[in-house]
Structure 1
Amino acid sequence: MSIQTALNAALSGLRATQQQAALTSHNISNATTAGFVRKELALSTSVTAGHGSGVRVDGVARRVDELLIRDARFEQSRFTAQETRASALADYAAVLGQPQDERSVATAVAKLQQAFDRLHGMPDDGAAQAAVVDRAQALVRNLHGAAEAATAVRMDARNRLSASVDQVNRALVRISELNGTIATQQAKGADTSDLLDERDRLLDTVSEEIGIRTYTRDNGQVVVMTRNGETLLDRELAPGAQPLQLIGTDLVAGGTILSANPDRDIQSGRIMGYVQAATQDMPRALAQLDALAAGIVKRFQDAEDNPAAAGLFTDAGAALDPLATAGLAGRIAVNAAVQGNAWRVQSGVQAATPLPPGDQTQIKAFIGAFTATGPFSAPDMPGTATLGDYATTMVSTQQGYRTTAEADMKTRRISADALQSARLNRDGVNIDDEMQKLLLIEQSYGASAQVIQAAGRMIDTLLSIRG
């Protein structure tokens, strides 16, 4: 090997170790940066005329496991969907309470029945009559509160859904910009590793909001689709573009409505949780409450002389219309006829004059409203039941939805955390490993420097001989 060759090899080694040191320092400084992937310098042997002439830097290598990333995103997306839905159900269940709680609808029904039982034993007692009216009003307030809670949770889910859609669209526009930059830089042979990190972070963000599939073209650009195959990003997007749209209550991608069947079309992500809460869970809760309110109004109308006229409970002052029960839990009211005329709970709300003292006929009819079994029409609820049994079942069923959703959420969290840890361990930065690399780089740098020193001494010797 000539002195010139030795110098060139040593100088190439110095340049390579310099870049390695800079890249390793870059790794260490970003060890805690979310989504940062460990970078390595791709090196190969430089060959001149069939002989090794040093080291060649081929570029910055960013080696990731695409299958692991795909699985980690999917599990994280399934977790965020279940977390969102569980949170919505928990907010409603917290207001509804457990069947035995003071604030629950089931307890309010039971206490009204108890008030009528006490009145049966003392039909002429004014305090007992007033207690029945108070318990009836408490039941109405309870139903109103539950309906307001379900409506509030539904509206919150819709608002959060809109914000989530906006976030996805902003991320997709930025990904589109990065696609163009990455394709241009790769064509020039420039380093795009940090740009790829940023794009992956944005894809992680999108996948938390909605389940996605991705594939990368040969030019480095990524195509993004929903999990059912609707395209979200396949070309350059203009600033402010909306590949994902919320039209009314419908989520639309590529002209296809996704929210009609979120389990099939959306499959995962917070958006799925919001859609389920807004279009399935809370409407079902309201339907169950409306069915209970309709049952209460009808049973007490049937206990009166004229079952077609308003009874103790009304639909905003009117008799029940069986074809217009939607929203009844928010409209149900105690008949104004008993306000200041508590004697009507002993004689009948429709009565013109009080019954004789001690007459329990009408009170027995009212108590019969609690013991009779009648039809109910609501999802996941019994077709026939007493008022008390229906109320208890309704509260228990809603709590069951919550506990099931929370259990599923915990299961998803374990799986998502495991895959995220595996991804971080494989692609992230281990500071101990990077410090070990710095020691090796230092030794390599020292070796190359010694070669240059030795070559320098040899040149000095040659020059002195020639002199």
Structure 2
Amino acid sequence: MNLTSALSIATGGIANINTQLALISQNVANAGTAGYATEVSTQSSIVGDGVGFGVRTGVAQRQIDQALTDSLTVQNATVSNLATTQTALQAIDSVLGTVGDGNDLGSLVGALQDSFSTLLTDPGSQAAQSAVVSAAGTLAGDINTLSASLTQQRTTAQQTLQSEVDTLNQTLGTIGQLSDKIMAATAVGHATADLENQRDAAVQTLSSLVGVKTIQQANGDLLVYTSSGTQLPIHGTSAPFSIAGGSTQPASYYPGGGLSGILLNGQDVTAGMTGGEIGANLALRDQTIPTAQAELDEFSVNLTSRFAAQGLTLFTDGSGSVPTLGGPPVQAGYVGYAASIQVNPAVQAQPSLVRDGTDTIAGSATGASAFTPNPATGPSGFSTLISRVLSYALGSDAQAGVPQPGFNTTGLGPGGTLTAQFSGAATLASYASGITSTLSAQSNTVTSQLSTEQSVQTALQNQVASVSGVNVDTEMSKMITLQNAYSANARVITVAQSMFNTILQATE
């Protein structure tokens, strides 16, 4: 080997070392960057006729396990979905009260029952009559508050969906732009590691919005699909997804009831948008919250009708009317009634009506027995109505041996498409407790699932980090090795220069 070859080899080695040092510097700088995969320099020996002529520096590549990364992408969608659901359910749970603590629906029904029991001991007591009205008002107010909370969380889901669709479009655009650059660089043999890291970060953002899976193409492009198989466009369109605004009052529903689905280039793809925050908010808006509202409406109308059937219109809507029963759908006449239920204004004005009654009941073999209200000149100790309320309105029978009409459990909601999450309740108190316990159980289940899935997510993140993450100690070790190699190559150059100088001096 001549001096020129030795000098060339050493110079190439230093150039290669400088490239690797630059990568180490970049890796260390991104050690705390989420999703960043360590980049490594590639090099190969230059050999001619069996003789080494140095090293060729190739394009930087990422240290990555694609299968692990794909698993983490799927897990991110699961965790985001549960976290979004948990936030909404916990907000609702905060106004539910706790079964048995005196502040839940079932306990408030019990408090109303207790007030009637106290009144039975002294029907003429004005204080006891007012206490009944007060207990009824507390119960109605709690129903109103819970209904308002449900509507608020549904509104939040709808508004959040609109912003999430905007973010979805922006993220798809980012992935498309990066893919264009990666394809262009791949075509001319340039490094794409930095661009791929940026694209992976965008894919992780996308996975928090909706469940996705990706397929890398040989030319550097990326195919993106939802978990249900819908391909997501990343090229050629700025805003492929859209969702219209709409009212989230109890009478609104999707599809066909004033609420929009998610459209992809004008086609409804709502059913395929599962997982992630978008999937969670769709489920909250269209299923979870409307079902809870329907159950609350069912409780409210039965509370009203069972009292009225015994001769006491204790509850009405905001206009002082009793909702109309019947359908279809079964709740057509009282969708959203829980938001307006109140104590009958006539009873508020004249509390003695809780003793005397408000309506004459003709009686029915399949319903309540006959009842005539206590006249204005009737006895102050009149207790017939109070006994009817305690035995029947708050019991499981409409009269002795005649079961109360059952609570509707199917065909619920404004569209008649919802099904209650529990059944079998016979009394107002048991149905009220069912609402509270079911929603609380839902919240607890989601919280437990979230904790489990977050543990899985953390384990996957650690596995990905062990393969792709930047290990600063390892990078520093590489740097020391490269510094030593740099010194060796520099020494070769120094010796070669010295020998050249010696040769030049000898020829003078």
Q: Report TM bin, short chain.
A: over 0.9
The 2-side partners of 1:67 and 1:182 are apart by 21
Q: 1:259 aligns with which of 270, 278, 290?
A: 270
Q: Which amino acid aligns with 1:75?
A: Q
Task: Show CA shifts across 1:139-192 (max 9, x none).
Answer: 110110010011111111111111111111111112111122221222222222
The 1-side partners of 2:422 and 2:24 are apart by 62
Q: Which amino acid aligns with 1:10?
A: A
The 2-side partners of 1:37 and 1:3 are apart by 41
Partner of 2:248: none
Paired residues, what number? Answer: 455
Partner of 1:353: 376
Q: Which amino acid aligns with 1:419?
A: L
The 1-side partners of 2:294 and 2:389 are apart by 25
Partner of 2:239: 242
Task: Show CA shifts across 1:293-327 (max 9, x none).
Answer: 011011111111xxxxx711123311231131211
Superposition deviation, residue 18 in structure 1: 1.2
Partner of 2:110: 110
| 8 Å Cα contact 1:230-1:254 kept in structure 2 | no
Superposition deviation, residue 340 in structure 1: 2.6
- 249-258 or 220-229, larger mean C-alpha shift: 249-258
Within a 5 Å distance, the mapping from 1:3-402 to structure 2 comes to 3-233=3-233, 235-237=235-237, 241-247=238-244, 248-253=259-264, 257-260=268-271, 265-304=272-311, 311-316=313-318, 317-323=320-326, 324-350=333-359, 351=373, 353=376, 355-368=378-391, 369-373=393-397, 374=404, 375-378=406-409, 379-402=420-443
| 8 Å Cα contact 2:82-2:449 kept in structure 1 | yes
The 1-side partners of 2:274 and 2:263 are apart by 14
Partner of 2:487: 446
Superposition deviation, residue 256 in structure 1: 5.1
Q: 1:255 to 1:66 in 2, by over 3 A?
A: farther
| 8 Å Cα contact 2:73-2:213 kept in structure 1 | no
| 8 Å Cα contact 2:46-2:54 kept in structure 1 | yes
Q: 1:456 to 1:134 in 2, by over 3 A?
A: same
The 1-side partners of 2:243 and 2:230 are apart by 15
The 1-side partners of 2:222 and 2:487 are apart by 43
SS at match of 2:36: coil
- 367-376 or 169-178, larger mean C-alpha shift: 367-376
Partner of 2:369: none
Q: Which amino acid aligns with 1:290?
A: D
Superposition deviation, residue 338 in structure 1: 1.2
| 8 Å Cα contact 1:290-1:327 kept in structure 2 | yes
Task: Show CA shifts across 1:171-214 (max 9, x none).
Answer: 11121111222212222222222111111111100011101121
SS at match of 1:45: strand
Q: Which runs of 5+ in 2 are unaligned?
A: 245-258, 327-332, 360-372, 398-403, 410-419
Superposition deviation, residue 95 in structure 1: 0.7
Partner of 1:307: none
| 8 Å Cα contact 2:60-2:191 kept in structure 1 | yes
| 8 Å Cα contact 2:120-2:383 kept in structure 1 | yes
SS at match of 2:243: strand
| 8 Å Cα contact 2:274-2:280 kept in structure 1 | no
| 8 Å Cα contact 2:75-2:453 kept in structure 1 | yes
Q: Which amino acid aligns with 2:325?
A: P
| 8 Å Cα contact 1:211-1:226 kept in structure 2 | yes
| 8 Å Cα contact 2:61-2:192 kept in structure 1 | no
| 8 Å Cα contact 1:230-1:253 kept in structure 2 | no
SS at match of 1:112: helix
With the length of structure 1 as denominator, give the TM-score of the two structures: 0.94
Superposition deviation, residue 254 in structure 1: 5.9
SS at match of 2:239: coil
Q: Which amino acid aligns with 2:315?
A: F
SS at match of 1:233: coil
More helix by share: 1
The 2-side partners of 1:432 and 1:349 are apart by 83
Alignment root-mean-square deviation, CA:
1.7
- 358-367 or 109-118, larger mean C-alpha shift: 358-367
| 8 Å Cα contact 2:137-2:343 kept in structure 1 | yes
SS at match of 2:25: helix
The 1-side partners of 2:301 and 2:377 are apart by 27
Task: Show CA shifts across 1:390-439 (max 9, x none).
Answer: 11122111111111111111111111111112112211111111100110
Q: Does 2:468 correspond to 1:427?
A: yes
With the length of structure 2 as denominator, give the TM-score of the two structures: 0.86
| 8 Å Cα contact 2:14-2:486 kept in structure 1 | yes
Q: Which amino acid aligns with 1:243?
A: P
- 117-126 or 381-390, larger mean C-alpha shift: 381-390
The 1-side partners of 2:140 and 2:474 are apart by 66
Superposition deviation, residue 6 in structure 1: 0.6
The 2-side partners of 1:335 and 1:113 are apart by 17
